[in-house]
Structure 1
């Protein structure tokens, strides 16, 4: 995964988030390496561009978390991340 090559990212997972116009877009959940506290979407896009990644593979949103939810066997529980981004979008929509 190209996200894991970023010098500030320790762990990452990309999930689909709903989009009214396109149906779905990509959202990257990232765990940062200490002591880093922030990472912007613009920084990730610049990194992808330097790595010559196709634009359609760029994440359209970054969510920084302390850890990714995993099963006992170590697999990322993507359904929990999808639920989280849906709730975040719902809260943003109602806050407007």
Structure 2
């Protein structure tokens, strides 16, 4: 999923993490860094891009969060545990954009 996100012309960096879901157990949330700060990106844009790429619908991200940069370790690995904490915080504050 991350490889496909990185093919999007507006996305510079991306990471997908699991987030809890009452019905399914978990869903996918894509954290993306945009190439230009003036760009905007919605979940609908990403879904349309995945559709044009003929990606199976079950692989579509169900939430998207645009951030300035992904948290990384000194060696450059993405700190997914911090993104999981962030998505939990966002869920409790209900600030995620969700696919209908």
Aligned positions of 1:40-59 closer than 5 A: 40-59=42-61
Aligned residues: 93
Separation in structure 1 between the aligned mates of residue 69 and residue 50 of structure 2, nearest angstrom: 23
Separation in structure 2 between the aligned mates of residue 35 and residue 90 of structure 1, nearest angstrom: 27
Deviation of residue 76 (structure 1)?
Answer: 0.3
Structure with the larger helix share: 1
Alignment RMSD:
1.2
Separation in structure 2 between the aligned mates of residue 48 and residue 92 of structure 1, nearest angstrom: 25
Runs of 4+ in 1 over 6 A off after TM superposition: none
- Counterpart of 1:24 in structure 2 is 26
Q: TM-score, normalised by structure 2?
A: 0.89
- The unaligned stretches of length 5 or more in structure 1 are none
Q: TM-score, normalised by structure 1?
A: 0.93
Separation in structure 1 between the aligned mates of residue 62 and residue 18 of structure 2, nearest angstrom: 10
